[in-house]
Amino acid sequence: MGSCKSSSCSSDTCGSADAAMAKQNLAINTSLGKIKQKILVMSGKGGVGKSTVSTNLALGLANKGYKVGLMDVDLHGPDICRMLNLTDKLHDTKIEGKQLFPPMQYGDNLKVISLEYMMEDRDDPIIWRGPLKVQAIRQFIADMDWGELDYLIIDAPPGTGDEPLTVAQTIKDAQAVVVTTPQEVALADVRKSLNFCKHVKMKVIGMVENMSGFICPHCNKNVEIFKAGGGEKTASEFGINFLGKVPIDPRIVIGGDDGSPYLSSQADSPSVKAFAAIISNVEKQLAGTASLSLKSADAAGCACGSSCNPTTCNC
């Protein structure tokens, strides 16, 4: 018998596992208590521009002088390091005597965490299942020295799987920015993301329509490649804010591929203006809602109040 006080328990480790969990919950709450706003960037589909929106949102807020964190919880497809051209490795960083690990630093105001920071070889596939992913995300919060932050931006993988669910359960006051493209197939999936938010009682800051038209570099006319306006319509159907639309801009792809994030290039183009509008809309939506009412980091949360799976529950 281990340290468990229950007479029916035969596990050697249950007592110490509980204690470790309680300790980690405490560390999570301490970290989160110093972060004013937590924003989960999610979408129904992959490739719609979540990482692009996360990166530009984080950079735009950091450029305005806010202290910002960017946490990449797309564990199977972490892209943030590439997009910001960050090549640091955690094991190269001096951490002696410290209890918390230093995140990567981008400029003065932005701290970044991604699984790539911990990996020997970035091209290794990640083959983790649920529990390990939950643990990785909890450690990203508990073990990292985020310090005082105005905003923590969390870049999620597509859909409503383990990663966004873990964020919802661990960061009770996280709020969502949902990214979509204008086509009906993308919008069908985005409705699932919005329903997920409803089930886990996560507030939705609003919706971004990305790849919304293409501004022709020759004549400056807007070409609606994937139709446009569907995001705005879906947002109003769900009664949520529409934060803005970003047109397709080839410079965004180049910026994402070579690690020179688009917003930092100061171009006075429609997509840079679009990001600026989205950033100030997010700021406005969150102004005055600095939520420091932290609840405990354990206990799952579905709207029905039972311990069901919020993704599949029909409550």
Ligand X SMILES: Nc1ncnc2c1ncn2[C@@H]1O[C@H](COP(=O)(O)OP(=O)(O)O)[C@@H](O)[C@H]1O
Q: Please, which residue, 151 or 214, has the CB nearer to ligand X?
A: 214
The CA distance from 262 to 63, in Å, is 13
Task: Please report, as residue ranges, which positions from 169 to 228 form the binding site for Zn ion (by CB under 5 A).
Answer: 216, 218-219
| Paired tokens of 200 | 């886990």
The CA distance from 172 to 283, in Å, is 20
| Paired tokens of 169 | 């359960």
53 close to 179: Cβ distance less than 8 angstroms: yes
Query: Is 60 near ligand X (CB under 6 A)?
Result: no
| Paired tokens of 67 | 């202290």
What is the length of the chain?
315
Task: Please report, as residue ranges, which positions from 227 to 286 form the binding site for ligand X (by CB under 6 A).
Answer: 246, 248-249, 252-253, 256, 271
User: Smallest distance from the beta carbon of 248 to Mg ion, in angstroms?
Assistant: 17
Closest-CA residue to 310 (of 171, 185, 168, 211): 168
219, interface contact from ligand X, Mg ion, Zn ion, none, CB < 5-8 Å by kind? Zn ion
The CA distance from 189 to 246, in Å, is 19
287, interface contact from ligand X, Zn ion, Mg ion, none, CB < 5-8 Å by kind? none
User: Smallest distance from the beta carbon of 254 to ligand X, in angstroms?
Assistant: 8
User: Smallest distance from the beta carbon of 228 to Zn ion, in angstroms?
Assistant: 17
Residue from 35, 39, 48, 110 touching ligand X (CB under 6 A): that is: 48
Q: Closest-CB residue for Zn ion?
A: 216
Residue from 51, 56, 160, 311 touching ligand X (CB under 6 A): that is: 51
The CA distance from 154 to 142, in Å, is 15
218, interface contact from Mg ion, ligand X, Zn ion, none, CB < 5-8 Å by kind? Zn ion
Instruction: Work out the burial of residue 197: count CB atoms within 10 Å of its CB; fewer than 13 is exposed, 13-18 middle, 19 or more buried.
Output: buried
Task: Point out which residues bind Zn ion (CB under 5 A).
Answer: 216, 218-219
Binding residues (CB under 6 A) for ligand X: these are: 43, 46-52, 79, 210-211, 246, 248-249, 252-253, 256, 271
